[in-house]
Structure 1
Amino acid sequence: MNGLKGKALFSMSLAVTLSACDMAPKYVRPELPVPVASPDGAAYPAAGSQETMVPADTAWRDFFVDPRLVRVIGTTLANNRDLRIALANVEQARAQFKVRRADILPTVGLNGSATYQDTPFVQQQGAGAGGSGRTDIYSASVGISAWEIDLFGRVRNLTKAAQEQYFASIENRNAAQTALIAEVASAWMIMAADQERLRIARDLEGVFGKTFELTKSRFAKGIASELEVRQAQTSYDQARADIAQATTLVAQDQNALNLLAGTTIGVDDLPEAMPQGDVVLGNLPDDLPSSLLLRRPDIAAAEHQLRGANANIGAARAAFFPTISLTAAFGTMSLGLSNLFKSGSDYWSVAPSASVPIFDFGRNQGNLRYARATYDAMLATYEKSVQTGFREVADALARRGTMTEQLNAQTSLRDSARVAYTLSEARFRAGIDGFLATLDAQRALYAAEQSLLATRLARTANMIELYRAMGGGLQ
């Protein structure tokens, strides 16, 4: 009967805890401190009628269409050390959350003890000599010790704060992966551009070298001046210098890719030139509702931090109220080991205790102020994350809006410079023009080739950045 009473008391205490009040303020998601829609203007693309994808719903394996780049990204995600650190941080936060969550329910322990006691005693006068009495006491019990009954939500709010920290660590890991994917793709494309730059320099070295040899031959015959020879040599030497520089850059690009990947990338997966086609999908949206920014991992992490700070306010408030703890045990006790579990040997004990703060010299008030200040800081961090995300998307859209026109113009400029050089060299060989016009045409062609290459790289980099800024895909 006594055991039933103890169990009933335990159950009632548990029910009270689970239905306790919550001192945390009701969380309301802050209004987004940015315009509802993306900016518009001359620099931004007009909304198209074609179907577009949502970056956060598009896996990176689908967004990147070059199989070599896909393999490099997959290798990187499996071996990158920074990503492993982020994953370890997630495991740490999850373990801390489990530890904090365990405080909600009592820790049940099993105890057993044996006491052997020999007590001397003195017989009454005339009854004989004194002696001693041997007493053996055995007990076994199961119970809880100093379990806090969470009437005011202190433990539950601390648990919620730990849970939000765990969720934030997951989002931080996702943000690290999204950024890493974009960084690897950009590094791969930079290497492709440097390989293309090396090819252009080698091609023009051959062309300029022939012109240089022709000019020297004409100078030997007295047809050309030494000035023309030196002018021809400048273009040739510039191409030679650019070959050396591009060769170094390609080697450094490969080292950078190997560092990101955490291993050595196979030669078959490295770009040998700038791909002729697109390496990414082109149907990214031309605008973005601000609400979609909430799907960015870094912004989601900032909101989890904000929710955790809100829960910490509840824990700080609960510290002003009494703390009620419960110690209880249910077991059996007997004077002999063989009688330990027989009928009539069971016992129970329940010892509730309460602690009421009276004078803490401002400790609880200081903790509450700290919790509120932390919330304000997390709120500002969250709003700054939203504003930063909006700016990154707006910048990427502004770049995208003018990129097509710039690429078309650079392509036309390169084609015109190539024709102009061909005509100028023919006139020089025919003796119609001096070499100065040919030199200008050489330099214009070289600059046009480099500018077109830079524009092609910028276009792909813009698509990668826009995909990342809009949330990216994790699969």
Structure 2
Amino acid sequence: MSNKLLHRCHWSLLSALLSACDPGGLLTTVGPDYRTQPMPAAARWQAPQPADSLPPMAHRGVPANLSRWWERFNDPVLSRFLEKAEQASGSVADAKARIEQARAGLVGADSALLPKLDFSTGASHSSSSFGGQPFVWNQFPFGLQSSWEVDLFGGLARQKEAAVSQLASRNAAWHDARVAVAVEVANAYLEYRYCESQVQIVQADTESRRESARLAEIAGKAGFRAPGDIALANASAAEGNRMLLRQQAQCERAIKGLVALTGLEEAEVRKLLTGTPDRTAKLPEPPAFRVDALPARVLLQRPDLAAAERDVAEASARIGVEQAKRFPKLSLSGNITPTLQNMNGAAFFLAETWSIGPTLSLPLFDAGKRAADVEAAKARYQAAESVFRSKVRTAVKEVEDALVRLDSAGRRLPEAQTAVSGYRSHFQAVQQLYRVGLGNLLDVETSRRNVLSAEVALKELEQEQVSAWIALYRAAGGSWEDSEDVETAGAASSSAAGTGKSAKPDRFINHPIDLTEGKS
């Protein structure tokens, strides 16, 4: 048989096999085509928007857009801590490593759809004898081997689809880790500034108590104050000093927490915290913003939900991967191996060897293993879908909680400010009466405690408001759209879309995906 006739027979056999497996002339893709389901969220938020209850100054914030939100705090110390914490975070590093693993998986899925080509070479020196004089045989083979699995039932395409979804999920998980670290550092920084402000309040109160005790001591020696008043004044000064020492210890603990989060040396952390020209304790001032009125649009900005949704898409594609294993598999292989050789030192001659042909494998009996793998893949899909919907419900709760906290803090702040002003005026009046001999020390100390409690409560409420803004930022998804990794994953998704398989872009915050529309 001539070489041309042999080639014609090989390709005729391949065409017949492909036609037999797919009478329509197109390859088949088994498994479900992934379709997104409607977002299980209410039509609108039940809690009031921040600007509906906060003072007019809140409206100066940038609405909705959370990009570079931290920079608009105008707090270089916070910005420094955020930068160093992201670099030092183990969770961020682990999430980034998972991105690289997923990217390697996508490269492997891509390569499975294409022919493989390998080159090999070698050398051998041997001696042989067939009952007579031995002869020496030198061989130098070099050749190419190629193989290609024909994706008859779409198993390899589903594998790539799963890899694209996994990469998108890992990218989103990385951004979620970054947002989580930023929130953790911001809360730790807020805790320190809040503690610092409390120290100043308690310190001012303690100094006032000491001055009262000093004056009582002088008046007692002159015979104008009873010993009981002097003892009460000294006890009040000691109590104030005790509270001051306790508050200072809490600030020290807050510094230790910032050191652990940022990875900076403690000396540098202390320098950053205390190196500002204005040493008046001041809480961070978060820029106000409004969340979108539609919960579904806000939730689509959350990287954790984006990751969970892509996990569902991956699980759907895995069903097709397992189903394809139950069908015949067709592969083409070929090789060409020229060998340069000689015998007993004679001239070299070239021997050519080549082969090409299809291989069809049919699964006949596996005791139900492949069918069980399909059912397991379906169960994993249902579990991933359930996890996604559970996370959506949790996300709605977090947004609603943050909105309620902001609304409550905004309503209580004016009342707390009024209480501080009233208690302080009353204390000054009672103290003045006592100093001129028309009052008693017990009333002064009672009034002092009221002022201290009101001032601490006001500062605590201000801290709660800032904390609620940070919580709303976290619940609304944070800012995670500025990443090269997302763009890479988005390009991979576009590549997958070119194969006819379902894939979604990653840039959720600028181009959110509408989960209310199905997609195959």
Q: Name the TM-score class by shorter chain.
A: 0.7 to 0.9
Deviation at residue 417 of structure 1 after TM alignment = 1.2
CA distance in 1, matches of 2:124, 2:357: 23
CA distance in 2, matches of 1:70, 1:162: 36
Greater shift in the superposed pair: 324-333 or 417-426: 324-333
**Matched letter for residue 151 of structure 1:** L
Is contact 2:316–2:381 with CA below 8 Å preserved after alignment?
yes
Q: Is 1:371 aligned to residue 374 of structure 2?
A: no
Compared CA separation, residues 294 and 283, structure 1 to 2 (3 A): closer
**Matched letter for residue 448 of structure 1:** A
Compared CA separation, residues 51 and 21, structure 1 to 2 (3 A): farther
**SS across alignment from 1:394:** helix
Aligned match of 1:269: 272
Compared CA separation, residues 170 and 286, structure 1 to 2 (3 A): closer
Aligned match of 2:99: 90
Deviation at residue 441 of structure 1 after TM alignment = 0.6
Deviation at residue 166 of structure 1 after TM alignment = 2.3
CA distance in 2, matches of 1:50, 1:60: 15
Is contact 2:62–2:287 with CA below 8 Å preserved after alignment?
no
Deviation at residue 460 of structure 1 after TM alignment = 1.0
Across the aligned residues of Structure 1 and Structure 2, the Cα RMSD in angstroms comes to 3.3
**1:136-215 paired onto structure 2 within 5 Å:** 139-145=141-147, 147-215=148-216
Q: Is 1:456 aligned to residue 465 of structure 2?
A: no
Deviation at residue 108 of structure 1 after TM alignment = 0.9
Corresponding residue to 2:316 among 310, 314, 318: 310
Is contact 1:328–1:350 with CA below 8 Å preserved after alignment?
yes
Q: Is 1:349 aligned to residue 355 of structure 2?
A: yes
Is contact 1:56–1:295 with CA below 8 Å preserved after alignment?
no
Aligned match of 2:34: 27
Is contact 2:102–2:167 with CA below 8 Å preserved after alignment?
yes
Greater shift in the superposed pair: 280-289 or 81-90: 280-289
Corresponding residue to 1:299 among 294, 301, 305: 305
Aligned match of 2:229: 228
Compared CA separation, residues 254 and 41, structure 1 to 2 (3 A): closer
Q: Is 1:45 aligned to residue 52 of structure 2?
A: yes
Deviation at residue 160 of structure 1 after TM alignment = 2.6
Corresponding residue to 2:74 among 55, 65, 86: 65
**Matched letter for residue 253 of structure 1:** A
Compared CA separation, residues 286 and 372, structure 1 to 2 (3 A): closer
What is the aligned-residue identity percentage? 23
CA distance in 2, matches of 1:103, 1:285: 44
The Cα offsets for residues 174-230 of structure 1, whole Å up to 9 and x where unpaired, read as: 101001111111111111111111111111111111112233344445544444334
Is contact 2:63–2:290 with CA below 8 Å preserved after alignment?
yes
Q: Given the two structures, how large is their TM-score scaled by the length of structure 2?
A: 0.79
CA distance in 1, matches of 2:49, 2:232: 43
Q: Is 1:402 aligned to residue 394 of structure 2?
A: no
**Matched letter for residue 212 of structure 2:** T
CA distance in 2, matches of 1:101, 1:470: 35
Aligned match of 2:85: 76
CA distance in 2, matches of 1:251, 1:4: 85
Deviation at residue 253 of structure 1 after TM alignment = 1.0
CA distance in 2, matches of 1:305, 1:241: 54
Deviation at residue 88 of structure 1 after TM alignment = 2.1
The Cα offsets for residues 314-364 of structure 1, whole Å up to 9 and x where unpaired, read as: 111111111223321134356558543xxxx65531242222222211211
Compared CA separation, residues 427 and 25, structure 1 to 2 (3 A): same
Is contact 2:47–2:400 with CA below 8 Å preserved after alignment?
no
CA distance in 2, matches of 1:421, 1:151: 87
CA distance in 2, matches of 1:304, 1:366: 24
Unpaired runs of 5+ in structure 2? 483-520
Greater shift in the superposed pair: 64-73 or 154-163: 154-163
The Cα offsets for residues 113-132 of structure 1, whole Å up to 9 and x where unpaired, read as: 5566666568xxxxxxx656
**SS across alignment from 2:338:** strand
Is contact 1:45–1:286 with CA below 8 Å preserved after alignment?
no
Corresponding residue to 2:114 among 100, 105, 108: 105
Deviation at residue 90 of structure 1 after TM alignment = 2.1
Compared CA separation, residues 27 and 33, structure 1 to 2 (3 A): same
CA distance in 1, matches of 2:237, 2:373: 72
* Aligned pairs, number: 458
**Matched letter for residue 194 of structure 1:** C
The Cα offsets for residues 375-407 of structure 1, whole Å up to 9 and x where unpaired, read as: 111101111111111111111111111222211
Q: Given the two structures, how large is their TM-score scaled by the length of structure 1?
A: 0.86
Deviation at residue 75 of structure 1 after TM alignment = 2.2
**SS across alignment from 2:359:** strand
Compared CA separation, residues 9 and 187, structure 1 to 2 (3 A): farther
**SS across alignment from 1:214:** helix
**Matched letter for residue 80 of structure 2:** R
CA distance in 2, matches of 1:293, 1:3: 63
**Matched letter for residue 458 of structure 1:** E
**SS across alignment from 2:40:** coil
CA distance in 2, matches of 1:60, 1:319: 49
**Matched letter for residue 45 of structure 2:** S
CA distance in 2, matches of 1:334, 1:162: 44
Is contact 2:59–2:288 with CA below 8 Å preserved after alignment?
no
**SS across alignment from 2:363:** coil
Deviation at residue 273 of structure 1 after TM alignment = 4.7
Deviation at residue 61 of structure 1 after TM alignment = 4.3
Is contact 2:176–2:303 with CA below 8 Å preserved after alignment?
yes
Q: Is 1:431 aligned to residue 434 of structure 2?
A: no
Compared CA separation, residues 346 and 75, structure 1 to 2 (3 A): same
CA distance in 2, matches of 1:76, 1:45: 34
Is contact 1:44–1:397 with CA below 8 Å preserved after alignment?
no
CA distance in 2, matches of 1:97, 1:115: 39
CA distance in 1, matches of 2:296, 2:161: 28
Is contact 2:295–2:396 with CA below 8 Å preserved after alignment?
no
CA distance in 1, matches of 2:130, 2:207: 117
**1:320-331 paired onto structure 2 within 5 Å:** 320-331=326-337
Aligned match of 2:485: none
Greater shift in the superposed pair: 297-306 or 286-295: 286-295
CA distance in 2, matches of 1:20, 1:235: 88
